[in-house]
Amino acid sequence: MKPAAGNGVGMAGRTRYAGDIMNTPAEHIPAPTPAASAPLARLADLLRAHTPADGSFELRVPGVHAIRASRPNAELVHGLQQPSLCIVAQGAKTVLLGSEAYSYDPSQMLVFSVDLPVSAQVTQATPSRPYLCFRLDLDPQRVAELMLKVYPDGAPRVDEQRGIWLAQAGDAIVDAAARLLAVMDEPVDAPLLAPLVIDEMLVRLLRSPVGGRLALIGQSDSSVQRIGRAVAWIRDHYDQPLTIDALADMVHMSASTLHQHFKAVTAMSPLQYQKVLRLQEARRLLSTGLKASTAGARVGYVSASQFSREYTRLFGSAPTRDVVR
């Protein structure tokens, strides 16, 4: 069984509880110069044209999304975010991973290298100036192919493994995102030209100061890639019992090494990761009208009281309350 993935605006559920957060510093790619605001304005115009209403819209080429929100979220939105590149063209948003907060606004980008259960909140948006975001899903295989061309002698070594990072989006990245959206209006040319622009964006990212971190997505022997495989197994089997030793064997790590690298990438242990996935999926099931006891059992909980306790701790309200919300 696989939980529903987040789309950057409407994910699995909402909560008013945020908990304590700490700001995470951005890694810097050269920021757009004052004279280079035209690409950002063009990206915002194209995003507005491709979002007839609030929500996330997958465009003509799979993996390319335009996202819009006309007002700030009153509550946190929870969901599973897949590997992707997100660029805000207008408005602002904060994404929470455990106790870490990643806040970004125009010309900034947020990159996810593995599936991560996050909560998010649009913080700046109005009907006249809505939150507008471009999202490109990342293909690890394509990253791996381009990495060999960009780094024929091997990618630079990086110590930071976190599966999410924030950086300034340079003029070239913003311009390429705008050109990618523009080609979506050409039904004949889009399937031919879009992959070329996507490759350009990936190459520019690989050649940037955060290129080493992106390259980890495509390195089959990297700890990030191995943790990505562990994450994929938990995602697809979140409702089943989790044995750390078996998971470690699957990704060719010792149990202690798996725990260390898993926490470095996802900011949580494998068991914590599984718990968050279970609770997010349970909340989605509750939104369909399913009873709390049934939802808890369906996502793998044996004890109804444990399910209620952990659900309340994460979302700030009891599951029985969310059934009727």
Q: Each residue of 203-244: pLDDT tens digit?
A: 999 998 888 889 988 887 788 889 999 999 999 999 999 999
Phi, psi (deg, nearest 5) at residue 155: -70, 150
Specify which of 10-24, 193-207, 214-228 reaches the highest per-range mean pLDDT.
Answer: 193-207
Q: SS3 string of the chain?
A: CCCCECCCCCCCEEECCCCCCEECCCECCCCCCHHHHHHHHHHHHHHHHCCCCCEEEECCCCCEEEEEECCCCCCEEEEEECCEEEEEEECEEEEEECCEEEEECCCEEEEECCCEEEEEEEEECCCCCCEEEEEEECCHHHHHHHHHHHCCCCCCCCCCCCCEEEEECCHHHHHHHHHHHHHCCCCCCHHHHHHHHHHHHHHHHHCCCCHHHHHHHHCCCCHHHHHHHHHHHHHHCCCCCCCHHHHHHHCCCCHHHHHHHHHHHHCCCHHHHHHHHHHHHHHHHHHCCCCHHHHHHHCCCCCHHHHHHHHHHHHCCCHHHHHCC
Residue 11 predicted with pLDDT over 50: no
Residue closest to 287 by CA, chosen among 71, 2, 4: 4
pTM of the model: 0.84
d(CA 10, CA 196): 29
Query: Taking a C-beta distance cutoff of 8 angstroms, is the pair 319, 292 a contact?
Result: yes
* Range scoring the smallest mean pLDDT among 22-26, 63-67, 152-156, 172-176: 22-26
Q: What is the pLDDT of residue 32?
A: 41
Query: Taking a C-beta distance cutoff of 8 angstroms, is the pair 261, 247 a contact?
Result: no
User: Taking CA 279 as the corner, what is the angle to CA 64 and CA 248, rounded to the nearest 5 degrees?
Assistant: 80
Q: What is the pLDDT of residue 209?
A: 85
pLDDT band at 13 (very low <50, low <70, confident <90, very high): very low
Q: What is the pLDDT of residue 157?
A: 84
Residue 276 predicted with pLDDT over 70: yes
Domains detected in the chain: 13-218 (2.60.120.10), 222-325 (1.10.10.60)
Residue with structure tokens 């718990």?
A: 275
Strands 100-104 and 92-97: antiparallel
Mean pLDDT of 257-268: 95
The overall longest dimension of the chain from CA atoms, in Å, is: 60
Q: What is the pLDDT of residue 5?
A: 55
Residue 62 predicted with pLDDT over 90: yes
Q: What is the pLDDT of residue 2?
A: 61
* Range scoring the smallest mean pLDDT among 21-30, 60-69, 194-203: 21-30
Q: How many CA atoms lie within 13 A of 97 on its CB side?
A: 26
Query: Taking a C-beta distance cutoff of 8 angstroms, is the pair 120, 72 a contact?
Result: no
Residue closest to 8 by CA, chosen among 104, 62, 79: 79
Q: What is the pLDDT of residue 35?
A: 39
Mean pLDDT of 185-191: 93
Q: What is the pLDDT of residue 25?
A: 39
Residue closest to 135 by CA, chosen among 81, 95, 195: 81
Residue 78 predicted with pLDDT over 50: yes
Residue 147 predicted with pLDDT over 50: yes
What's the whole-number average pLDDT of the chain? Answer: 87
d(CA 8, CA 272): 22
